[in-house]
Structure 1
Amino acid sequence: MRAFTYTQATDASAALHAALQNPEAKYIGGGTNLVDLMREEVERPNEVIDINALPFSQIEVLPDGGVRLGALARNSHTANHPLVRQRYPVLAQAMLSAASPQLRNLATNAGNLLQRTRCYYFYDTTAPCNKRQPGSGCAAIHGVNRIHAILGTSEQCIATHPSDMAVALAALEAVVQVQGANGTRRIAMEEFHRLPGDHPEQDTTLGRDELITSIDLPALPSTANSLYFKVRERPSFAFALVSVAAVLELEGEQIKNVRLALGGVAHKPWRARTAEEALLGKPATAENFRQAAEAELQTAIAYEHNAFKIELAKRTIVRALLTLAERQLLA
């Protein structure tokens, strides 16, 4: 691990100033991803700025009835908070399906969104990786790519985003609040992460001079009927092969509102807009769910080892929606 300077920021302005003064600096909250990356010498900051003293740990109700999640609130606290468990079960389930209790006790909400891919070639500094070293190539495309993306890929990168929390936030249409040198701004969750394109080294649309302060959840009545369904290699401490965050509202047997986001299939949480549009106003049947899933996965591209993900994603969408439909019809 490279030697580095440790700095404790006392307020947001000091943290932003320190980062702007040093392009090689990195913020640290829980450190559950950054420390691993530093240990493997994937990340090599010469300064680490501790932001844990900043006042961004609260979880509170917003004036419009939504809920604000502090950027520095720990994942375990967020997932088990009554406001989250009662109003946004899909988010609580997603967060509790991630990592281990020990890691969730340390990991922060902002850090969860900013965690980097678990592609093995990204972590292997002897392998070519455009995300780690732009222009070097992508070893995964012709390598072992079982865990890799099937949607939104490019010739530069087929890595997936690892966060479960971010998938649920995409389905909930959350908004990321950030503070920068020029003031504050709001970033829709769907726009926060990037597809790889020609610049896979850029994971998000967050600026160098910006710091996440909170994540806002909208006040939507249908979010109570929601769930997170995760398919993985083993029951715990494993990243998703495919996951689905689903929100469903019925009017009688007709679909009044539906929100879907997929994990484990793209460089970012994948909002399934095509499937949503195919379902609105239709009866909540297995056949309609399957047709919507087929439409969503039409553009999927399989690689040598991950073709199974296309059918798996379709079946996971259908199962999640059937579960929610049956739950509401039987209520």
Structure 2
Amino acid sequence: MINFRYVRPTTRQACVTALVSDPTAQFIAGGTNLIDLMKRGVTAPEKVVDINALTLRSIDKQGSGIRIGALALNSAVADHPMIRQQQPLLTQALNAGASAQIRNMATMGGNMLQRTRCHYFYDTALPCNKREPGSGCGALEGFNRIHAIFGTSDRDPKTACIAVHPSDMCVALVALDATVLVTGPNGERRIPFVDFHRLPGNTPERDTNLERGELILAIDVPDNAFARHTHYLKVRDRNSYAFALVSVAAALDLSNSTIRDARLAMGGVAHKPWRLLDAEKALVGKPATEATFRQAADIAMQGAKAFEHNAFKIRMAPSSIVEALKTAARPA
């Protein structure tokens, strides 16, 4: 780890200014991901801007939804009575992530910005277009068991990337139609959660659509009718502190046994949380039966592409979707 400068501004504008003034600077809150990256030499900011002095920890009812401050801790959000009662899918996803100790330090904004856990990204001796643009993608011809089956870029070696986004929380938030409030040099703006993270395309080094100097202020989660029928399913190698091979966020609005509305997203399968819009549409108006769920799962898998070591995800993903929907459909 290199020597770096540490600053702790007390206003939003000062935080933005401190970041913009140094091209290598990075924000830090809980530090549960950034410090690891700095220790391994994956990133080396010459200045670290601590944003913990900002008042961004509240969890409040606002209009037709709930606003969650960017500095609210993962554990505090998961355990908040309003979240547990009105947005249980978010509670389930948060509790599936990391360990209790990390959830007690990790912030909502930091969770959104965590980097991929691709082995080739973390090992600075190996090529990685995300870490060092133009160096190649070691995962393409390497051990790619944990890697993506949707939205990959693998045609041009200089821009190829098949890494997956690691967050559980973000899978729930994309399913729940959340919106992200940010501020930056050009003022505030709102970003639909589905558009917050990026596919690799020709710029795999960019994980999000944040502009340089922008700071996450809050996440808005709109009210919905899914509180009674939700389930977050995480398939992983072990039950504690492991990232998803495949995860599914499922939410249903049922009238008797008919699906009035549905939300469906997957994690562990793409460079960003993967919203299954076509599968959701296929569920609406149908009976909540296994046959319906299997049809939706088949639709969800259209366009999936496996690599040498992750073909099992092509089978695991639709089975996980069906299981998540079956569990969500059970009587509350």
TM-score by length of 1: 0.97
Count of matched residue pairs? 327
Matched, 1:55 2:55: yes
Match of 2:292 among 271, 288, 291: 288
Matched, 1:312 2:316: yes
Question: 1:252 is matched with which residue?
Answer: 256
Question: 1:205 is matched with which residue?
Answer: 209
SS of match in other structure, 1:22: coil
Q: Do the aligned residues in 2 keep the contact of 1:172 with 1:223 (CA within 8 Å)? A: no
SS of match in other structure, 2:182: strand
Distance in 2 between residues matched to 1:325 and 1:212, nearest whole Å? 34
Give the gaps of 5 or more residues in structure 2.
155-159
Distance in 1 between residues matched to 2:205 and 2:164, nearest whole Å? 13
Q: Which amino acid is the alignment partner of residue 2 of structure 2?
A: R
Q: Do the aligned residues in 2 keep the contact of 1:153 with 1:267 (CA within 8 Å)? A: yes
How far off is 1:180 after superposition? Answer: 1.1
Bigger Cα displacement from structure 2, 122-131 vs 214-223: 214-223
Question: 2:157 is matched with which residue?
Answer: none
Question: 1:6 is matched with which residue?
Answer: 6
Q: Which amino acid is the alignment partner of residue 125 of structure 1?
A: T
How far off is 1:209 after superposition? Answer: 2.2
Q: Which amino acid is the alignment partner of residue 53 of structure 2?
A: A
After TM superposition, list the pairs within 5 Å mapping 1:1-331 onto structure 2. Answer: 1-64=1-64, 66-155=65-154, 156-327=160-331, 331=332
Q: Do the aligned residues in 1 keep the contact of 2:129 with 2:204 (CA within 8 Å)? A: yes
Write the deviation string for residues 180-229 of structure 1: whole angstroms up to 9, x where unpaired.
12211110000000011111100000111210000001011224421211
SS of match in other structure, 2:140: coil
SS of match in other structure, 1:228: strand
Distance in 1 between residues matched to 2:115 and 2:278, nearest whole Å? 27
Q: Do the aligned residues in 1 keep the contact of 2:197 with 2:273 (CA within 8 Å)? A: yes
Bigger Cα displacement from structure 2, 22-31 vs 316-325: 316-325
Q: Do the aligned residues in 2 keep the contact of 1:85 with 1:92 (CA within 8 Å)? A: yes
Q: Do the aligned residues in 1 keep the contact of 2:259 with 2:286 (CA within 8 Å)? A: yes
Distance in 2 between residues matched to 1:143 and 1:52, nearest whole Å? 39
Q: Do the aligned residues in 1 keep the contact of 2:98 with 2:241 (CA within 8 Å)? A: yes
SS of match in other structure, 1:238: coil
TM-score by length of 2: 0.97
Give the gaps of 5 or more residues in structure 1.
none
